[in-house]
Amino acid sequence: MVKIKAKDVRNKVRNLKSIIEAYKKEHPKKDRDYGKYEREFKKRLKKQ
């Protein structure tokens, strides 16, 4: 069984929320590409 630390989960959720906030500011509703959320999140996960 793999143990997952709550601290790590909270950090990843915080990163995802910051990506979403920044993306929403940059792109009005009609121009949003939701696949970009996933790509940005994967990039940041690799950096950690």
Q: Where are the domains of the chain?
A: 6-47
CA 37 remoteness from chain centre: 6
Per DSSP, 44 falls in state H
What DSSP string describes 15-39?
Answer: HHHHHHHHHHHHS-GGG--THHHHH
Q: What is the pTM of this model?
A: 0.51
User: Could you report the per-residue pLDDT of 4-47, keeping only the tens digit for each?
Assistant: 899 988 998 898 888 888 888 887 777 667 787 788 878 877 87
